[in-house]
């Protein structure tokens, strides 16, 4: 997987943050059920997990097929599929809130990858991930939601 985009690359992080900054209250989803606030909150919750601020238990299906699914997802630069399933912990019920606060939080969390130093991470579905796998996955997840809202 040489030269695949990763959130651990400074230029890639900068590109993602530039795209996050284009989002506003008028941003509309191309697909999915989330509005802009729900997507922003979903992404901050996900970043908090990836950075170690929260934990989630592994799910049974992930124990069965998580490694295989991760390998398939990270095999190339293909974006994540539309309407990919998520854990119930990342489904945001509230439909409104401060969009600017969520954007600033997401950006601050994204910037934290510059000093991320954990050698591995345990994902709720995929299981143990190396730092390299996590960096590529976080990029793909962020890109997925930014594409969802045309950013």
How far is CA 40 from its chain centroid?
A: 10
Q: Where are the domains of the chain?
A: 10-148
Q: How far apart are CA 52 and CA 95, in angstroms?
A: 26
Residue 138's contacts (CB-CB under 8 Å, 6 or more residues apart) are 6, 7, 47, 50, 113
Q: Is 11 buried (19+), middle (13-18) or exposed (0-12) by CB count in 10 A?
A: exposed
Q: How far apart are CA 145 and CA 6, in angstroms?
A: 15
Architecture of domain 10-148: Up-down Bundle (1.20)
Beta bridge partners of 123: 127
Q: How would residue 2 be classed by pLDDT, with cut points 50, 70 and 90?
A: low
Please state the rounded mean pLDDT for residues 54-77. 93
Report whether pLDDT(151) > 80: yes
State the average pLDDT for the chain. 94
Q: Kindly report the number of other CB atoms within 10 A of residue 98's CB atom.
A: 12
Q: What is the pLDDT of residues 94-116, one digit of tens each?
A: 999 999 999 999 999 999 999 99
């Amino acid at each position: 997987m040489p030269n695949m985009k990763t959130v651990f690359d400074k230029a890639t992080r900068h590109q993602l943050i530039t795209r996050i900054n284009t989002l506003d209250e008028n941003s509309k989803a191309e697909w999915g059920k989330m509005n802009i606030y729900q997507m922003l909150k979903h992404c901050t919750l996900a970043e908090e997990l990836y950075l170690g601020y929260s934990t989630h238990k592994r799910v049974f299906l992930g124990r069965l097929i998580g490694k295989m699914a991760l390998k398939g997802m990270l095999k190339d630069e293909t974006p994540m599929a539309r309407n990919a399933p998520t854990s119930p912990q990342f489904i945001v019920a509230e439909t409104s809130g401060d969009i600017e606060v969520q954007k600033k939080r997401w950006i601050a969390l994204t910037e934290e990858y510059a000093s991320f130093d954990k050698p591995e991470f345990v994902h709720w579905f995929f299981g143990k991930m190396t730092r390299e796998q996590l960096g590529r996955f976080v990029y793909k997840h962020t890109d997925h939601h930014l594409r969802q809202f045309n950013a």
